[in-house]
């Protein structure tokens, strides 16, 4: 028989509706098939109940994951941004900047003026060449790190964090060595502002990615 309140099916011998709890009468009482409105109410109630049940199940699953030490599913949008854009962009920028620094193009002067700068500041050309080569190497390592992360290699997150640290260390070394070389001759000479922007950007990325990949280290098992 069917419930006159919600239209749900009530098993024979049951006095109350298992869906809405309404009293349906004695065991011998029967009802005609529910009309369209009753069916609609029945389906709506079922959908609401299913929604509550699903939400409760997700909550119970999260509690169970926490108790068992298993991480629940986490968002991976930042991970996709890193492997599909940030590391490719970083590799391109490092290779270009490394070439520009090693050849002195980052000063934005003519070749005659560049020769004067290098002759005027002893050791500056050697610094630019060494730092430029290091930055190009970091660009190549960025591509390798990208494929380690995309393949969920166990060493992927560590390589990425190490790459960011290396960029920061080289940036600090370049700034310190540059001012050490030029300050004794021309204290008014300053380094390009792009170097400081890159340094701050890498510091920010380092902090964010240490937190991010620490929560997802269980994903990198290959």
Q: Which two tokens stand for residue 87?
A: 């590391």
CA dihedral 86, 91, 96, 102 (to 10 degrees): 130
User: Residue 208's pLDDT is what?
Assistant: 92
Return d(Cα 125, Cα 118) in angstroms, integer: 6
User: Residue 27's pLDDT is what?
Assistant: 46
Residues 100 and 198 in one domain: yes
Question: pLDDT below 50 — which residues of the chain?
Answer: 27-33, 39, 42-43, 51-52, 55, 58-59, 63, 65-71
User: Residue 193's pLDDT is what?
Assistant: 65
Long-range contacts of 157-164 (CB under 8 A, 24+ apart): 157/209, 157/213, 157/216, 157/217, 157/220, 160/82, 160/87, 160/209, 160/213, 161/206, 161/209, 161/210, 161/213, 163/138, 164/202, 164/205, 164/206, 164/209
User: Residue 7's pLDDT is what?
Assistant: 74
User: Residue 4's pLDDT is what?
Assistant: 73
Residues of the domain holding 184:
77-219
Residues 88 and 151 in one domain: yes
User: Which of the listed residues 38, 54, 73 is the one where a domain comes to its end?
Assistant: 73
User: Residue 10's pLDDT is what?
Assistant: 76
Residues 179 and 212 in one domain: yes
Residues 59 and 142 in one domain: no
Residues 178 and 143 in one domain: yes
Q: Which two tokens stand for residue 119?
A: 């002759």
Residues 47 and 108 in one domain: no
Please check whether residue 167 is in contact with residue 138, taking contact to mean a CB–CB distance below 8 angstroms: yes
State the chain's maximal CA–CA distance in angstroms.
109
Cβ count within 10 A of residue 149: 20
User: Residue 33's pLDDT is what?
Assistant: 46
Residues 81 and 118 in one domain: yes
Return d(Cα 141, Cα 87) in angstroms, integer: 10
């Amino acid at each position: 028989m069917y419930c006159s309140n919600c239209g749900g099916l009530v098993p024979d011998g049951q006095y109350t509706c298992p869906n809405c709890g309404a009293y349906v009468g004695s065991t011998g009482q029967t009802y005609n098939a529910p009309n369209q409105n009753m069916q609609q109410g029945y389906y709506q109630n079922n959908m609401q109940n299913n929604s509550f049940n699903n939400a409760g199940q997700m909550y119970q699953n999260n509690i169970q994951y926490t108790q068992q030490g298993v991480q629940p599913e986490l968002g991976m949008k930042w991970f996709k941004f890193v492997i599909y854009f940030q590391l490719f962009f970083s590799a391109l920028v490092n290779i270009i900047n490394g070439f520009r620094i090693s050849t002195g193009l980052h000063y934005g002067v003519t070749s005659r003026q560049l020769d004067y700068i290098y002759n005027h500041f002893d050791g500056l050309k050697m610094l630019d060449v060494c730092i430029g080569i290091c930055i190009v190497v970091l660009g190549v390592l960025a591509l390798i790190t990208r494929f380690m992360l995309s393949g969920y290699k166990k060493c992927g997150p560590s390589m990425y964090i190490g790459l960011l640290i290396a960029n920061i260390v080289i940036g600090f070394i370049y700034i310190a060595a540059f001012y050490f070389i030029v300050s004794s001759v021309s204290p008014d000479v300053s380094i390009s502002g792009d170097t400081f922007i890159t340094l701050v950007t890498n510091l920010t990325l380092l902090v964010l990615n240490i937190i991010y990949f620490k929560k997802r280290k269980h994903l990198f098992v290959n």
